[in-house]
Structure 1
Amino acid sequence: MSAPSTVTPGGTGLQIHRIILWALLLVFAAFFLTPLYVMVSTSFKDLDQIRNGNLMSIPTSPSFAAWSKAWSTACTGVDCNGLKPFFMNSVYLVVPAVLISTAVGAINGYVLSKWKFRGSEFMFALLLFGVFMPMQVVLLPMSQVLGYLGIASSISGLILIHVIAGIPSTTLFFRNYYVGLPDELVKAAMLDGAGFWRIFWRIILPLSTPILVVTLIWQFTNIWNDFLYGVVFSGADSKPITVGLNNLANTTTSVKEYNVDMAAAMIAGLPTLLVYVLAGKYFVRGLTAGAVKG
C-alpha cells in the first residue's frame, strides 16, 4: 500500500508569490541597468552605427577606439590630452584624503565612545552638525583658508578640504560602531597596564574591520564623485576626473562624438563601480554591524 502524498498547504500560492517577486525584481533591475547598457554599448560603436541604429542596438563591430580617444586624445576645452591627467589627479587626491579622514575618524570615534570627557557629547553634536551642513556654505571660508595657507588651486588644498569635510561622517561611523563594543575590553586592558594608543592598536582596531571597510568605501565614493569642490578649488593642473568629464562633454566640436562621451563617462565611473562590485557585500555587513547601538 503506497504512502499518502504530502501536500504543503499554500504551496502553490507561495510559488506564485515568489514568481511575482522575481518578476518585479527583474523589471526593476532592467530599469536601473538600462542606462548602463546604453553607455557601454554606445562606447563600443562607431559614429555611423550610432547615427543609423538606435540606443538599444548591439555593436556590430565593437571597437575600443572611443575609449582610447577619451583616455588620451579627446579635447577638454583647449587641452586635447584626454582624461588621463584628470584621472591621475583624482588618484593623487583620493588616496591620501580617504586614508587621513578615515584615520582621524577612527581616533575620534574611539575617544568619543571609550574615553569620554566633559563636553564630549557636545563636541560630538557639533561634529554631527557638520554631517548635515550644505557644502555650498563653506565655499567662501574654505577659499580664504586655502589662500592663507598658500595651497589654493592645488591637489594639497583639495586633500585638506575633503579631509575636513569627511571627518564628521567618519567620526559618526566609528563612534556608533565602537559604542557597541564592550567597555570591559578597554577596562581589562587598562588593568593590565595598556595605555591609550596600545588599546587602540591592539584591541580596538583589529575589531574594526567591518566599519573600516564601510568608511573607506563611503569616503572613496564621495571624494571620487565630487564635482563642486573640484570645480571651485582646483587649478589648471589639479582638476579631478569629474571636472575633466564635464569639460569633455561640453567641449564643442564639428561632430558630436557620443561614443567618446560615453566611454569617458565609463572611465570616470569604473573605479567606484569596481569598488562596489568587489566589496559591496562587506559594505552592507559593516553598515548592519554598526546599526544596533549608538
Structure 2
Amino acid sequence: MSKTSTGRQTTWVEKALRAALYAVLIIMAAVYLMPFLVMLLTSLKDVEEIRTGTLLSLPSTLDLSAWGKAWGEACTGNNCGGISPYFLNSFQIVIPAVLISTLLGAINGYVISLWKFRGSDLFFAALLVGCFIPFQVILLPMARTLGWLGIANTTTGLVFVHVVYGVAFTTLFFRNFYQAIPGELVKAARLDGAGFFTIFYRIILPLSTPIIVVTVIWQFTQIWNDFLFGVAFSGFDTQPVTVALNNLVNTSFGGKEYNVDMAAAIIAALPTLAVYVLAGKYFVRGLTAGAVKG
C-alpha cells in the first residue's frame, strides 16, 4: 500500500471513528433529554389526551392552559393556585444567600491561603468537616437558633441557614483557587503599603472572576433546588418554589392534572437551566483555573 493510500485510509478511519463518536454522543444526549421532552409534551396536552395517548405522542392541539394554571393566573387577593408567589420567595432567598456566602468564602479563602496565621490549617479542617455534615443533623439545632434569633419561618431565616451551610463550600473553592496565586504578589503589595482589604479588593478580587462564577453557579443551584431546609424552616407564605411544587403535585381536587404538574416542574427548573446554559462554559473554566500553579 502506498504512502498516499495509507494516508487516505487513515483519514477514512478517523472520519468513521469521529462519526461513531458523534452518534454515541447524540444517542446519550437524546436519552438524557428524554424526561424533559416527556414533561414538555405532557404540559402541552389536555388531561383527556394524556390519558388516551402515549408519553411521546405529539399534542393534537397546543394547550397552554396548564402553564397558566401552574403559574397561578387566577389569583384572588394573596391566594394564587400556582407557584408564582413562591417563585419570588426563592429569588428573595437565593440572591442574598449567594452574594453573602460568596463574599465570606472569598475572604476566608484569601485569609487561609495568603495570610497564614496560627491555627489556620485547623480552621480550614473544621470548615472541611462542615462540608460533610448531613443536612438532617443540623435541623434541630438550627431550628432552635432561628427561634432564638427571631427569624424562624421567614425568608431571612432561610438566607441565614444557606449562608451558614454554604460558607464551608465557598471557602473550599476560593482557598484552592488562591493557592495558585504567588504569595510574593501579596508580599510586594504589603511592602508598598497596601493593607489587608486593599490587597483583597484591588489585587485578589480582579483575579478571582473564574472561581466567583463557579461559586455563584454552585450556590445558586444548591439553594434553588433545596427542599429539606425549605420545608423545615419556612412558613406558609415564605415557602420556596420547591416546597410549593411538592404541595402542588401532591394536592389534587378531582382528577389528577399531570399537565399542570409538568408545567410547574419546568417553570421551577427554568432559572437553574438558564444559569447553566448561559454560564456553563465558565463553570468548567473556573474549576480548572486553579488546577496548575504558576
Normalised to the residue count of structure 2, the TM-score between the two structures is 0.94
**Residue 204 (structure 1) aligns with:** 204
**TM-aligned CA deviation for residue 6 of structure 1:** 5.6
Q: Contact between 2:173 and 2:215, CA under 8 Å: does it hold in 1?
A: yes
**Residue 218 (structure 2) aligns with:** 218
**Residue 131 (structure 2) aligns with:** 131
Q: Does 1:47 align with 2:52?
A: no
Deviation track 1:65-123 (CA, whole Å, cap 9, x = no partner) reads: 11111011589xxx643101111110110000000000000000000010010100000
Q: Contact between 1:173 and 1:290, CA under 8 Å: does it hold in 2?
A: no
**TM-aligned CA deviation for residue 5 of structure 1:** 4.5
Query: Which residue type is aligned with residue 288 of structure 1?
Result: T
**TM-aligned CA deviation for residue 198 of structure 1:** 0.4
**TM-aligned CA deviation for residue 41 of structure 1:** 1.3
Q: Contact between 2:180 and 2:291, CA under 8 Å: does it hold in 1?
A: no
**TM-aligned CA deviation for residue 48 of structure 1:** 2.6
**Residue 180 (structure 1) aligns with:** 180
Counterparts of residues 140-159 of structure 1 (less than 5 Å): 140-159=140-159
CA distance in 1, matches of 2:45, 2:289: 44
Distance 1:292 1:136, change over 3 A: farther
**TM-aligned CA deviation for residue 184 of structure 1:** 1.6
CA distance in 1, matches of 2:246, 2:47: 21
Q: Contact between 1:45 and 1:61, CA under 8 Å: does it hold in 2?
A: yes
CA distance in 2, matches of 1:144, 1:291: 40
| Corresponding residue pairs, total | 288
CA distance in 1, matches of 2:74, 2:160: 30
**Residue 195 (structure 1) aligns with:** 195
**TM-aligned CA deviation for residue 22 of structure 1:** 1.5
Q: Percent identity?
A: 61
**TM-aligned CA deviation for residue 51 of structure 1:** 2.0
CA distance in 2, matches of 1:236, 1:36: 29
Q: Does 1:65 align with 2:38?
A: no
CA distance in 1, matches of 2:121, 2:260: 51
CA distance in 2, matches of 1:210, 1:192: 27
Normalised to the residue count of structure 1, the TM-score between the two structures is 0.94
Query: Which residue type is aligned with residue 261 of structure 1?
Result: D
CA distance in 2, matches of 1:247, 1:258: 14
Q: Contact between 2:45 and 2:62, CA under 8 Å: does it hold in 1?
A: yes
**TM-aligned CA deviation for residue 145 of structure 1:** 0.4
**Residue 25 (structure 1) aligns with:** 25
Query: Which residue type is aligned with residue 292 of structure 2?
Result: V
- Aligned-residue CA RMSD (Å): 1.7
Q: Contact between 1:74 and 1:83, CA under 8 Å: does it hold in 2?
A: no
Give unpaired runs (5+ residues) of structure 1: none
